Each structure stands twice: as C-alpha cells, then as structure tokens.
C-alpha cells in the first residue's frame, strides 16, 4: 500500500509542477479489454526447431541457402523451406477449449519487409530477401494481414495437446541481392477457443 501512496504523491507533485506551464489540455480515455482464462499451456519446440535461450523463444535454423534456390512471393519457390513443429501442451481448464489459433505480430518483431510487406524483414548483412512463413497447407502466409493458423486441441481428460506444423523460407523481395546473414524474429500469440 505504501508503494501506491508514494507513487500517487509523486504523480500529484509532478502534476502540480506541470500545471503552471500547461496552456492547453486534451481529455481522453483509455478503453481496455481482455479475457481471463483457466487454461495453462506450454509451447515447446518439436522437429525442425529448438528451445531458445529465453523462455518462450524457439530457434529455427534456416541453413545456408543460395539465392539461385529461392524465388519471389508470387513464385512460391519452397524447396529450401525449414520445417517448424510446435508442440502445445495444455493443463488446467483445457476441457473448456476446442482449438488454438496462432497469430503473428511481425510489426513487433523484426518488422515487415520494406519491399514486400507480406514478408518478415531480415536483419544482418544480406540484402534482397525477406522471410516467408508457410502454414500447415504449405502455402505462404501474408504476414501483414490477420492470417492465423487454427489447430484443434486433442483432449485427454483434463489435458489437451496440439501439434502446429509450419515452415520458414527465404523469399526474394525484388531488390538487388547481397550475401550474408539473414535473420529475423517473429512474435506470436496463441488464442484458445
């Protein structure tokens, strides 16, 4: 309780200090919403992936790929794709849910590619490529949109599991190519329904 009182006192003092300098003010409101659930789930690396060094991180090694072996988004040259398998294990409250929707937030990761907004921007010395994400149907996803990967939960008593299969592939973005490292990171959110 003392921390809250101290914080309020500091905020009040800051407000009094700024009141003398403010000439105009805008009023507004924050509208906050959310959902609380009883379900507890872990997402682990399966085939083609490995655990990262921090909780929640999953590493995918895309290997050494030649520019000659990749194409544009429209060409959908997918032979060099790296498979990614994610294993979802849910306990506590899992019986109330039937599926998990995986959605991606590229803008909060390494960003969308400047030249092809459907791709994830790469970091590193390489130029001329972005990273494409493949859904379970082996089709390139548009990372600038709201596409999700929907997977049924397999229930067994109070637990539920799911296996999410996707892939990552380098895709030419239409600019001159330059070899080097081409890395990226892509945050995701799991919604249980």
What tens digit of pLDDT does each residue of 27-41 get? 777 777 666 677 788
* Cα–Cα distance, 174 to 75 (Å, whole number): 12
pTM for the model stands at: 0.80
Residues in the chain: 193
Reading the block at residue 95, the tokens are: 């019986």
DSSP 8-state code for residue 121? P
Residue whose C-alpha is closest to residue 102's, from 119, 123, 85: 85
Reading the block at residue 80, the tokens are: 């060099």
Q: What is the pLDDT of residues 51-86, one digit of tens each?
A: 989 888 899 999 999 999 999 999 989 999 999 999
Q: What is the pLDDT of residue 6?
A: 35
For 38-192, CATH number?
A: 2.60.40.1090
Across all residues in the chain, what is the average pLDDT? 85
């Amino acid at each position: 309780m003392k921390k809250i009182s101290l914080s309020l006192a500091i905020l009040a003092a800051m407000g009094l200090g700024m009141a003398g300098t403010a000439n105009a003010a805008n009023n507004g409101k924050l509208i906050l919403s959310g959902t609380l659930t009883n379900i507890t789930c872990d997402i682990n690396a399966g085939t083609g992936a490995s655990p990262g060094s921090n909780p929640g991180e999953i590493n995918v090694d895309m290997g050494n790929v030649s520019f000659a072996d990749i194409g544009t988004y429209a060409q959908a040259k997918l032979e060099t794709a790296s498979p990614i398998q994610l294993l979802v294990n849910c306990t506590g409250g899992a019986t109330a849910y039937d599926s998990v929707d995986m959605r991606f937030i590229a803008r909060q990761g390494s960003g969308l590619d400047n030249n092809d907004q459907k791709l994830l921007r790469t970091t590193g010395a390489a130029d001329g490529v972005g990273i494409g994400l493949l859904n379970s149907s082996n089709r390139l996803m548009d990372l600038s949109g709201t596409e999700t990967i929907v997977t049924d939960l397999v229930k067994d008593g109070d637990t539920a599991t799911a296996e999410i299969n996707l892939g990552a592939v380098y895709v030419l973005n239409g600019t001159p190519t330059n070899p080097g490292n081409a890395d990226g990171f892509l945050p995701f959110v799991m919604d249980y329904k």
